């Protein structure tokens, strides 16, 4: 048995870190996933993905050294070095983002994004928290330290220059980072062990830096400091009739009204991040992010390179285009065949479409219930802010066509990138820490699963765009916008 094969995606075949070389013995046939990730040349040399390969009898393999998958790395050099530096980190269920900032100006100097190493224990929160706290904590703390050392070394900054660290994330990720029990977050009623803000020494929790580490308060078991930081950075608390959506494995939704902020969270699952789909991948170089159809598919990739798979926005675009072209019906059924080929090697199956339907229905239902609670019609919405790495690539027209968003004017939809990390930067100041505590206390949190209409609304919303056609009376106009 081999113990040192790395994996950060829980055996889903998306990270490519469990690469092995088969030296001797009989193994299963190469999968389409391996063809996409490894390529023809590596497969000819005997390379395979361990999670996709079954051995028959005795086999001999070689495990090459695999460096952590860096999804994105940014360096912004200044001619003048900062006097004091800070670290901001956004711990997501799928990715971890760490940035070095100038504490005086708040400017980001360098940034690094990697897959969350906890993914080997499960790609959603519920499955992951069944793992021992010790293992979860060890995985995220070692990753944080590795990323910080990598960034500070590249900038030639000593760790003693790091004076503050601000950490945001969903409640399960924050609990595991600080070594707080997570078991209560894996079962109803999903009550966090603590909702309070946290301020501790880095050394006390095993960090490479000894600076003070701050994390904002938590609202509920699935609405944490990352969502509050989104509200803070975009000043949603000052606005009226604004809908904010952070689309990820756990979708957080907020709605500001005349006198209140309503909030909820919904289990969208990992489909929007390209996880668990036949040709899915995270939004990185090679991912199809935009799709159009006119007598055939036209695809556009991140980095303008050869397509390696499809990320969340690509699936939304593709399904919207397929619906417009009549290749699928409102139930998501493919009209002809078992799958639709987007390119010669990349395709979408009925199961893929269904997973996107479930995910988009969860988000739409959350929006619908918040609008009901706030007594606001969709026509009254003045702005829609979409956050998260997924949100950087979404096409609002396609989002309406599949029923992810209600029929709003696409011009009021704005993508705001990683707004949680932006909020974390603001939290270097005490005045903003007081402000985020007030936001947390003022929010009216809506537990969707206690809403009597939730299940019926969710089922209706799984259709494309919706079972009730009156809810999308202008869908043809939106389809005409998709060119």
pLDDT reading at 237 higher than 50 = yes
Q: Helix, strand or coil for residue 451?
A: coil
Write the pLDDT tens digit of every residue in 318-330: 999 999 999 999 9
Report long-range pairs for 203-208 (Cβ below 8 Å, ≥24 apart). 205/141, 205/177, 205/178, 205/179, 206/137, 206/141, 206/145, 207/141, 207/144, 207/145, 207/148, 207/165, 208/145, 208/148, 208/149, 208/159
The string of pLDDT tens digits covering residues 82-135 is: 889 999 999 998 889 999 999 999 999 999 988 889 988 877 788 888 899 999
SS3 415: strand
pLDDT of residue 14: 62
Q: Band of the pLDDT at 15, cuts 50, 70, 90? A: low
Q: What is the mean pLDDT of the chain?
A: 90
Alpha carbons 259 and 121: distance in angstroms, whole number: 42
Q: Is the pLDDT of residue 1 over 50?
A: no
| Residue spans in the chain of domains classed CATH 3.30.420.480 | 70-225
Rounded to whole angstroms, the Cα distance separating 98 from 349 reads: 35
**68 falls in which pLDDT band (50, 70, 90)?**
very low
Strands (E), 294-357: 297-301, 309-310, 339-341, 347-349
Tell if the pTM clears 0.75, that is, is over it.
yes
Question: Does domain 70-225 fall into CATH 3.90.650.10?
Answer: no
Say if residue 68 is exposed, middle or buried (CB neighbours under 10 Å; 0-12, 13-18, 19+). Answer: middle
Q: How far apart are CA 176 and CA 294, in angstroms?
A: 48
**Both tokens of residue 264?**
């909820």
Question: Residue 64 pLDDT > 90, yes or no?
Answer: no
pLDDT in tens, 323-352: 999 999 999 999 999 899 999 999 999 999
- pLDDT at residue 51, as a whole number: 85
């Amino acid at each position: 048995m081999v113990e040192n094969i790395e994996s950060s995606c829980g055996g889903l075949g998306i990270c490519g870190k469990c690469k092995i070389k088969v030296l001797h013995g009989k193994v299963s046939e190469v999968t389409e996933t391996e063809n996409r990730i490894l390529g023809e040349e590596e497969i000819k040399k005997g390379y395979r993905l361990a999670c996709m390969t079954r051995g028959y009898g005795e086999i001999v393999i070689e495990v090459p050294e695999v460096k952590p998958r860096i999804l994105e790395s940014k360096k912004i050099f200044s001619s003048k070095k900062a006097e004091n530096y800070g670290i901001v980190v956004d711990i997501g269920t799928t990715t971890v983002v760490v940035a070095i900032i100038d504490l005086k100006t708040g400017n980001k100097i360098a940034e690094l994004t990697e897959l969350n190493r906890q993914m080997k224990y499960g790609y959603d929160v519920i499955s992951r928290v069944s793992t021992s706290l010790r293992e979860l904590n060890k995985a995220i703390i070692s990753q944080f330290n590795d990323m910080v050392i990598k960034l500070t070394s590249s900038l030639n900054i000593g760790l003693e220059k790091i004076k503050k660290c601000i950490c945001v994330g969903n409640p399960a990720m924050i609990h595991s980072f600080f070594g707080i029990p997570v078991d209560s977050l894996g079962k109803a009623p999903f009550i966090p062990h603590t909702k309070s803000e946290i301020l501790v020494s880095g050394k006390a929790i095993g960090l490479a830096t000894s600076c003070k580490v701050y994390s904002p308060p938590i609202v509920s078991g699935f609405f944490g400091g990352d969502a509050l930081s989104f509200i803070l950075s975009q000043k949603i608390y000052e606005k009226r009739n604004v809908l904010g959506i952070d689309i990820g494995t756990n979708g957080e939704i907020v709605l500001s009204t005349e006198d209140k902020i309503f909030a909820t969270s919904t289990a969208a699952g990992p489909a929007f991040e390209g996880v668990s789909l036949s040709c899915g991948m995270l939004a990185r170089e090679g991912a199809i992010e935009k799709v159009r159809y006119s007598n055939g598919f036209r695809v556009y990739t991140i980095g303008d390179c050869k397509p390696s798979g499809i990320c969340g926005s690509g699936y939304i675009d593709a399904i919207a285009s397929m619906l417009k072209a009549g290749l699928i019906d409102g139930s998501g059924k493919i009209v002809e065949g078992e799958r639709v080929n987007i390119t010669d090697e990349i395709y979408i199956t009925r199961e893929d479409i269904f997973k996107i339907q479930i995910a988009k229905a969860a988000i739409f239902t959350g929006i619908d219930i918040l609008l009901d609670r706030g007594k606001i019609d969709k026509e009254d919405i003045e702005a829609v802010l979409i956050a998260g790495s997924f949100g950087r690539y979404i096409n609002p027209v396609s989002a309406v066509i599949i029923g992810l968003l209600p029929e709003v004017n696409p011009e009021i939809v704005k993508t705001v990138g990683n707004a949680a990390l932006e909020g974390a930067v603001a939290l270097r100041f005490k005045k903003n820490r007081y402000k985020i505590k007030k936001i947390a206390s003022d929010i009216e949190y809506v537990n969707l699963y206690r809403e009597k209409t939730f299940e019926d609304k969710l089922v209706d919303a799984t259709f494309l765009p919706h079972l009730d056609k009156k809810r999308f009376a202008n869908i043809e106009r939106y389809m005409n916008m998709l060119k």
